[in-house]
Amino acid sequence: MPGIAEPLLTVPGFSWSGSNIGIKDDSLDFAVAYCERSCAAAGVFTRNNFPGAPVVVGREHLAAGALQAIVVNSKNANVATGPDGLADARRCCKLLGEALGIAPELVLPSSTGVIGVPLPMKRLERACREAPRGLNPGPEGLQAFARAILTTDTRPKAISLRVGAATLTGVAKGAGMIEPHMATMLAYFFTDAALDAGILREMLGRAVDKSFNRISIDTDTSTSDTVVVMANGLAGAVPAEDFEAALSEATVYLAKEIARDGEGATKLIELIVCEAPSQAAALAIAKSIVNSPLVKTAIYGADPNWGRFVMAVGKVFEHPTPLEALRIEFGGEDDPLVISMAGQTPETLQRIARYLGGEELRIRVRLGQGKAQETVWGCDLTEGYVKENAEYTT
């Protein structure tokens, strides 16, 4: 397994920028990533039936498996903006391409924020034209990029790993409208490893399926979700399996960071459903539990109300399991606190309550029916989530 490199590593050939162009307030809201040469690239996008204009354009531009730049704005999603929105996304690619001297098809656009409001194109046009002079290959550039893509996130999310001579650096954002099948989340991976676009696409698909598609904050699937990897080849070839291991580790790390930073969240929940009769049953039950508002509020309140887990397992009508076999384990695998259907002592419940007071929780649900296992990540549901989403148009 590749080791986590601290601090965040820049990647040879790439430069980044992050700046404020006044889309909503004075926080960073415009970001560009650029590579000195064309990269093999692959992407995965939202499954929402109403994808944002940048997603439509991004799919087109990635069809050929090559990218050289990414342009992102936060605070406005450019979704449900009609033909004008599509034209706006294309215009950003065209202007940035002209400024950088590259084809517009080598630019991937991303927008995240409020739905249904036209992009402020005067500001974006100027920002695209002036983008080259802001680019910085150093850590300041990368940090500014990581900050400028945020919306309701409370902190930037990034990771760097080494794969032989190559570096893999990933940057993500996402805090609400998060549910498996992607979310209001953006994630970009930059590497100087040499990999072809077809292999990248397969690796990215597998990695996303086990990471970003396994997190849930609020069951809402965004219209803007985008995960992209760009490989410029400057470090030469690396073993494909090593690169895939690094990509997997990086996507899981960033997925957990997104769940941990869920809107209003105070706890990260890692939930493992095992001994399931099939992968489908394991995943459906895991999602039912991690999405249950009653489970999420009980965890927020550190209430060892395990009956809510029983309810959440039982409401997956299509995958019935016997109640007697159900076991719920809290804590590490070596010495967990166990709830079995045969009954438990008040001491166990008190210890579980104390355990639930922590900020990073591991809960394992054993179905006693087979060997399939799935891991998902989520967060608790708090007054903070309600407050943030009731009072605030992103």
Positions touching its own copies (CB under 8 A) are 47-51, 77, 79-80, 82, 114-116, 176-177, 179, 181, 218-223, 291-294, 297-298, 300-301, 303, 305-308, 310-317, 320-321, 323-324, 341-343, 381-383, 385-387, 389-393
Question: Cα–Cα distance between 339 and 328 in angstroms, integer?
Answer: 5
User: Shortest distance, CB of residue 273 to its own copies, whole angstroms?
Assistant: 14
Smallest separation, CB 377 to its own copies (Å): 17
Least distance CB 75 / its own copies (angstroms): 13
CA–CA distance, 84 with 58 (Å, rounded to integer): 16
Contact 355, 331 (CB under 8 A): yes
Q: If DSSP codes are grouped into helix, strand and coil, which group holds residue 74?
A: strand
Could you give the CA distance from residue 49 to residue 28 in angstroms, rounded to a whole number?
A: 29
Q: Which is nearer to its own copies, 68 or 76 (CB)?
A: 76
Among candidate residues 93, 262, 109, the one with its CA nearest the CA of residue 174: 262
For every residue of 21-34, DSSP letters joined together read --SSSSS--EEEEE
Say if residue 104 is preceded by a cis peptide, omega within 30 of 0.
no
Alpha helices in 225-336 (DSSP H): 240-260, 279-291, 293-300, 307-314
> In whole angstroms, how close is the CB of 351 to its own copies at the nearest point?
16
b/e map 299-328, b = 16+ CB within 10 Å: bbebebbbebbbebbeebeebebeeeebbb
Nearer to its own copies by C-beta: 51 or 54? 51
Nearest to 329 by CA among 293, 289, 359: 289
1 or 390, CB closer to its own copies? 390
For its own copies, give the closer residue by CB, 193 or 265.
265
| Nearest approach, Cβ of residue 149 and its own copies (Å) | 19
In whole angstroms, the minimum distance from the beta carbon of 306 to its own copies comes to 6
Nearest residue (CB) to its own copies, 83 versus 101: 83
394 is catalytic: no
Catalytic residue among 10, 184, 191, 226: 184
Identify the CA nearest to 259 among candidates 380, 347, 346.
Answer: 380
Taking the complex as a whole, how short is the minimal distance between the CB of residue 297 and its own copies, in angstroms?
A: 4
d(Cα 210, Cα 286) in Å, to the nearest integer? 13
Nearer to its own copies, 79 or 158 (CB): 79
Is the Cβ of residue 38 or residue 266 nearer to its own copies in the bound state? 266
Cα–Cα distance between 186 and 174 in angstroms, integer?
Answer: 7
Q: Measured between alpha carbons, how far is 39 from 31 in angstroms, rounded to an integer?
A: 18
What is the DSSP annotation of 90-109?
HHHHHHHHHHHTS-GGGEEE
Strand partners, 186: 173, 226
In sequence order, the 6+-apart residues with CB closer than 8 A to the CB of 122 are none
Give the residue numbers annotated as catalytic, written as ranges: 184
